[in-house]
Structure 1
C-alpha cells in the first residue's frame, strides 16, 4: 500500500469505490458522523499555506472524530515567516511526533517532500492548480449517492477551468469509470487547456453545453491565481456563463449541481443554489466522511 495520498491517480477504480463505501459507514442516518477513538495514539498536523474553510475544517473534524490529536498549524505565526523552509518545518514536526501531515500549498512541494520524508505520511489537501484528490473522492461519492453508478453519465464542468485543481483531479478520477461523456464550458481565455482535450469536448456556448446533462460541476473564477490583472466584466460574464434557472431547465430533470465552494453567486444564481437539483451542501457533509475514510486508510497502512 502506498504511504502517501498525493493524487487520485494513486488509487485504482476498486480502491476509489472501497473508500466511498467505507466513508458511508461513518455517516449516520440523521446526517451526523460516528465518533470512534480508532487512532488515539496518532497526531496530525494541518498545514495550510493557502486559505481554506471546508477542506481544513473537515480534515480537523474528521481527525478528531477518529480520536487523533490535531495540530492546527498557523503558518502566519510560524518560523516560515522567518525564512524557514517547508521541509524544515515539517521535519521539525515529525521529530516532535507528528504522524501525518495534511498539506495545502500553492506549489507542488508535496511531491518533493513525500519521498524524502519517510517517517511522516502526507495527504494532499490542494496542490496549486494541479491536484485535489480528496475533493474528487467527495464529488464521486456525491454523484454515486444520487446516480447510483459512476458510469454512463453526461457531465458538464464549467467556469474557470484552467486555474482549478478540482477540474484536473476530477477528470483523472472519473476517467477510471466507463462511458462518461464530459463537456467543458466557460470563458475561452479560462479554458485554454480544455479546448482541444482528449478528456472531453469543449463547448463555449453554455446553453448548448448543458443540454441533457446528468451532472453539472460549477467552478468559481479563481482571481488569486491570475498572473496578470483581467479586465473581466462580471455582468457580461454572468450573462454568458452564469447558471440560471432557465439554463438549468435545459439539463435533464434529475440533474445534480455540484460546486466545491466557496460559492459567490457569479457562476450560479441564488435561485439555482436553492433548487432541489443542488447537492452542494451534501458535498460539504460528505467531506467529513471521505476524509475520515482517507485518514483511516493511510493511518492504518
Structure 2
C-alpha cells in the first residue's frame, strides 16, 4: 500500500482520508494495518487502534478510541453514553492530525456510527479500515473507491519465504530432504498467511523426519489451494489444536469463554 504523509509539525496539507483493506480471514489485513500503524504513528498528533468484530459494543469501542487518543484511561460512567463519547472525540480531534485503525468491521451501520466520532478536518488525518466485506470497504472509502484495496494471496515465492523463515529461520536452512515436501505443503496453504504460519508453527514441534512431514501434508485438504474459505482454515487450525498436549488443550479451551477481541488478563486465565 502506498502511504503518503508529512510530519505532524508541517502545515495542514489535505482533508481526512479513509483507506480500506478487504480480504478473507487470515489474509493478513490486521497484520498489514498494524505495521502501518506502528511505523506511521509518530507522524501524527494522536492515534488509536480498535477491533470491531461481528457483534460490536459501539460504546466500548468509542471509549477505547477516546482513551487512546487522549492517552489516558477512560472509566465507564453514566455520562459516557454513545452521544457523549462521539461529541468528546469530535471536540478533541478538531485541530489534531490523527491516525485511526478500525480493524475487522463487518457492517456499514457500525462504520456510520464510528465515522460520526471521526471529525473531518484539514490536518491530513488518516483512517485505515479492515473488513472481509467488499461492500463495507467501498462504503468506508466512498467516493474514493480507489482507496479500497483487496489483499490477494501471497505468491509462491513469498509463501516460501514466510514458511521457511517461520520453520527454519531462513530459506537457506531448509534440509534438502524436506525441500520437496515443504513445497507441497506450501501449495496446499494457497498463499494464505495465517495457514502458512499455523502449519509452520506446527512443524517446528516435529522432527526433521520426512515421514512426520508427510503425515502433516496428508492431513491438510486442498480447499485453500482452490477456494480459500473458512472451512479449510478451520481444518488447519483444528489440526494444530489436535497436536497440542492435553494440558495446553484445556488451557486453550478456556479462551473460548471470552468474547472476540477481548483483552484477556493473565491472572484471570490462570485462576480458571
Could you say whether these structures have the same fold, taking a TM-score greater than 0.5 normalized by the shorter chain as the test? no
Structure with larger Rg: 2
TM-score, with length taken from structure 2 = 0.32
